[in-house]
């Protein structure tokens, strides 16, 4: 997992609430066994139905920030949803609220979820719609979201453990490997500690 520092770029204004994981990544793609390549299928139903859907628009292609409405990522717990958004090139999702399981799954793949009040989201959404090239700066260390021109600055809260894992780029494997010396020492002594397990 890549270390998360500061993300600066324009934002995709997905001005919808209660976007569930089936809308993010349709169920037919859950049979794929690899973790990459899901970005092309993200929001597929809306993309196909509406050529002018925001994710189809060239001015937002490659934007590293996604703005969304309340309760983003609700529905089933499929981890493919964060994979799909990450594969689109998004690094940060900003919304008034998130489904808990979705938010946890995002943290596990290095996606930062930021909660801001609805009024702030509406301001950023309107700005991104009016000025698609306008940039937002998300600083995880300082825990701030700001417009590039400095006219808008807000602080956000984040779980200290999640902040640590994102800044250090530590997924579950990386966290385990931090204890490599202790694991190796235990494996060396395991036969003495648990002789019954080594008897066979």
Tens digits of per-residue pLDDT, 138-173?
A: 999 999 999 999 999 999 999 999 999 999 998 755
Q: How far apart are the first and last CA of the chain?
A: 39
3-state helix vs strand vs coil in the chain, percent to 5? 45, 20, 40
CA dist 138 and 144 (Å) reads 6
CA dist 97 and 95 (Å) reads 5
What CATH architecture applies to the domain 6-169? Alpha-Beta Barrel (3.20)
pLDDT bracket for residue 105 (50, 70, 90): very high
Beta bridge partners of 165: none
- Predicted TM-score of the model (pTM): 0.88
Domain map (residue ranges) of the chain: 6-169, 170-200
List phi, psi (to 5°) of 31: -80, -15
Q: Whole-number mean pLDDT of the chain? A: 91
**Tokens linked to 198:** 């080594």
Residue 180 has pLDDT above 60, yes or no: no
Q: Do residues 62 and 39 lie in contact, with contact meaning Cβ atoms separated by under 8 Å?
A: no
List phi, psi (to 5°) of 98: -130, 155
């Amino acid at each position: 997992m890549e270390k998360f520092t500061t993300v600066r770029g324009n934002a995709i204004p997905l001005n919808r609430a209660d976007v569930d994981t089936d809308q993010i990544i349709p169920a037919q793609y859950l049979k794929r066994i690899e973790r990459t390549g899901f970005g092309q299928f993200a929001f597929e139903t809306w993309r196909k139905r509406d050529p002018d859907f925001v994710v189809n628009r060239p001015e937002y292609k490659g934007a590293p920030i996604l703005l969304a409405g309340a309760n983003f990522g609700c529905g089933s717990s499929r981890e493919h949803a964060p994979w799909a958004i990450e594969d689109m090139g998004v690094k940060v999702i900003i919304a008034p609220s998130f489904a808990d399981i979705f938010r946890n799954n995002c943290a596990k793949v290095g996606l930062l979820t930021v909660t801001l009040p609805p009024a702030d989201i509406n301001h950023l959404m309107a700005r991104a719609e009016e000025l698609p090239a306008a940039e937002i700066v998300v600083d995880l260390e300082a825990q701030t979201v700001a417009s590039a021109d400095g006219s808008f600055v807000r602080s956000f809260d984040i779980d200290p453990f999640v902040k640590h894992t994102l800044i250090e780029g530590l997924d579950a494997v990386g966290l385990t490997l931090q204890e490599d010396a202790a694991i190796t020492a235990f494996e060396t002594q395991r036969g003495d500690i648990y002789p019954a397990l080594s008897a066979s």
